[in-house]
């Protein structure tokens, strides 16, 4: 079906979603990274970014929080750009694990395969692939530049979060070395893990995530800067990765009930992307047991349902003034 949605309607629905979901109880801050446990659990922001560059927002959309696993999407895009879709498939894979984000069992079960760049194992493997190999400074530069390009403005490293996570990431250290033993780390394992920990510790705002989500939805063209960040033809690969594993072991439930391909992070952020239509993001620190923000999920579902968009609907959506 052809559907026309007025921008004013989106403003109205975002306002309602904020009012309806802001007092939702349930969930708790991630505490396995001590820094995240200290963040005010009442913070809450929602933002929608349209391909025209218009941003519709409510709440704490300029608050800077830890991007965490959402940055796995950024790194996946970088290696897709550097290597192409086929090589990423061969070296990492694109399979949902159905297991928690930091699962070691998933690596063993997949017969040495990191599964997808959107779980910890695949993301560390992806960081090892970032070019130029063997040069941590230049690799980091490429990662930061790509994040900036996707989000439309600079992100700053949250030093305290980086420290906190580096001191406590024993499970991820085990993953890096296990992958090394399977020849699934393509550069120095310690360096790859450090790059991973660092980009997870980047500070981001809800607004920047909505812009990144829209850059993906807009076939790689950032709606704010106009820069073509990745090749158009990669959009379906990127969206399929997000749709198949964005919420880890709850991904099926999420996509079935929301219709919005989205990626979460234990910092409380969720970044959604609806191809050709918009980018959407929400942030609230309390998480469910799979590490996904309770309020952010509720807000995004509310908006998708009320404005009637769903990636599986077959509708062609036009947003008008
Ligand atoms: N950096 C976090 C970790 O590796 C990211 C996890 C997440 O956001 N789901 O544990």
Domain boundaries, the chain: 2-68+205-320, 69-200
Read off the tokens for 226.
Answer: 């106009």
> Would you state the pLDDT for residue 209?
98
259 lines ligand 1 (CB under 6 A): no
Strand partners, 264: 270
Q: pLDDT means per 10 residues in the chain (321 residues)?
A: 96 98 96 94 98 98 98 98 97 91 87 88 98 98 98 98 96 96 95 98 98 98 98 98 95 97 98 98 96 97 98 96 89
> Does the domain spanning 69-200 belong to CATH 3.40.140.10?
no
> Would you state the pLDDT for residue 270?
98
172 lines ligand 1 (CB under 6 A): yes
293 lines ligand 1 (CB under 6 A): no
For residue 119, count other CB atoms closer than 10 A to its CB. 27
Strand partners, 46: 58, 282
Yes or no: say if 270 and 212 are a contact pair by the CB < 8 Å rule. Answer: no
> Would you state the pLDDT for residue 113?
78
Ligand 1 atom having least distance to the Cα of 68:
8
H or E element: which one contains 55? strand 55-59
Closest to 137 (Cα-Cα) out of 55, 194, 201: 194
> Would you state the pLDDT for residue 155?
98
The tally of CA atoms less than 13 A away on the side-chain side of residue 68 is 29
The answer for residues whose C-beta is within 8 angstroms of residue 92's C-beta and 6 or more apart is 113, 114, 115, 116, 117, 122, 125, 126, 129, 184
> Would you state the pLDDT for residue 64?
98
> Would you state the pLDDT for residue 99?
87
> Would you state the pLDDT for residue 197?
98
Closest to 295 (Cα-Cα) out of 12, 17, 13: 17
> Would you state the pLDDT for residue 109?
85
Yes or no: say if 303 and 280 are a contact pair by the CB < 8 Å rule. Answer: yes
273 lines ligand 1 (CB under 6 A): no
pTM of the model: 0.97
Yes or no: say if 206 and 283 are a contact pair by the CB < 8 Å rule. Answer: yes
> Would you state the pLDDT for residue 295?
98
Yes or no: say if 281 and 46 are a contact pair by the CB < 8 Å rule. Answer: yes
Q: Residue 320: is it exposed, middle or buried by C-beta count within 10 angstroms (0-12/13-18/19+)?
A: exposed
Going from the Cα of 315 to the center of ligand 1, the distance in angstroms, rounded, reads 34
> Would you state the pLDDT for residue 10?
98
- Quote the CATH superfamily of domain 2-68+205-320: DD-peptidase/beta-lactamase superfamily (3.40.710.10)
Q: Which of 266, 290, 291, 297 to mutate to test the pocket of ligand 1 (most atoms within 8 A of CB)?
A: 266
Yes or no: say if 193 and 173 are a contact pair by the CB < 8 Å rule. Answer: yes
Ligand 1 atom having least distance to the Cα of 196:
1
Helix 206-217 and helix 71-83, axial crossing angle in degrees, nearest 10: 30
291 lines ligand 1 (CB under 6 A): yes
Q: Which residue has its alpha carbon closest to ligand 1 atom 4? A: 120
Going from the Cα of 68 to the center of ligand 1, the distance in angstroms, rounded, reads 5
75 lines ligand 1 (CB under 6 A): no
Beta strands 278-283 and 269-274 are antiparallel
> Would you state the pLDDT for residue 258?
98
Closest to 296 (Cα-Cα) out of 165, 200, 304: 304
Beta strands 316-320 and 2-6 are parallel
Do 2-68+205-320 and 69-200 show the same overall fold?
yes
266 lines ligand 1 (CB under 6 A): yes
> Would you state the pLDDT for residue 212?
98
């Amino acid at each position: 079906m052809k559907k026309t949605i007025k921008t004013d309607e989106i403003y109205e629905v975002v306002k309602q979603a904020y009012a309806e979901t802001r007092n939702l109880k349930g969930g708790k801050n991630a505490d396995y990274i001590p820094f995240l446990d200290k963040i005010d659990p009442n913070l809450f922001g929602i933002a929608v970014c349209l391909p025209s560059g218009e941003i519709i927002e409510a709440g704490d959309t300029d608050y800077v929080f830890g991007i965490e696993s959402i940055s796995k999407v950024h790194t996946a895009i970088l290696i897709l750009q550097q290597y192409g879709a086929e090589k990423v498939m061969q070296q990492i894979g694109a399979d949902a694990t159905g297991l928690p984000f930091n699962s070691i069992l998933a690596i063993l079960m997949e017969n040495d395969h990191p599964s997808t760049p959107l779980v910890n194992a695949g993301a560390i493997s992806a960081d090892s692939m970032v070019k130029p190999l063997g040069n941590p400074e230049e690799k980091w530069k490429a990662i930061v530049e790509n994040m900036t390009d996707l989000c439309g403005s600079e992100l700053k490293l949250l030093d305290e979060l980086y420290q906190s996570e580096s001191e406590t990431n024993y499970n991820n250290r085990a993953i890096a070395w296990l992958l090394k033993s399977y020849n699934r780390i393509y550069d120095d394992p310690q360096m790859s893990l450090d790059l991973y920990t660092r980009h997870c510790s980047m500070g981001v705002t809800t607004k920047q995530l909505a812009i990144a989500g829209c850059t993906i939805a807009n076939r790689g063209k950032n709606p704010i800067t106009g820069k073509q960040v990745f090749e158009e033809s990669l959009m379906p690969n990127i969206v399929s990765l997000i749709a198949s594993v964005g919420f880890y072991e709850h991904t099926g439930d999420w996509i079935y009930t929301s219709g919005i391909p989205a990626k979460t992070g234990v910092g409380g952020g969720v970044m959604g992307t609806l191809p050709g239509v918009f980018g959407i993001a929400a942030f609230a620190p309390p998480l469910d047991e799979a590490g996904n923000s309770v309020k952010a999920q509720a807000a995004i579902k509310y908006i998708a349902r009320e404005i009637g968009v769903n990636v599986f609907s077959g509708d062609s959506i036009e947003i008008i003034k």
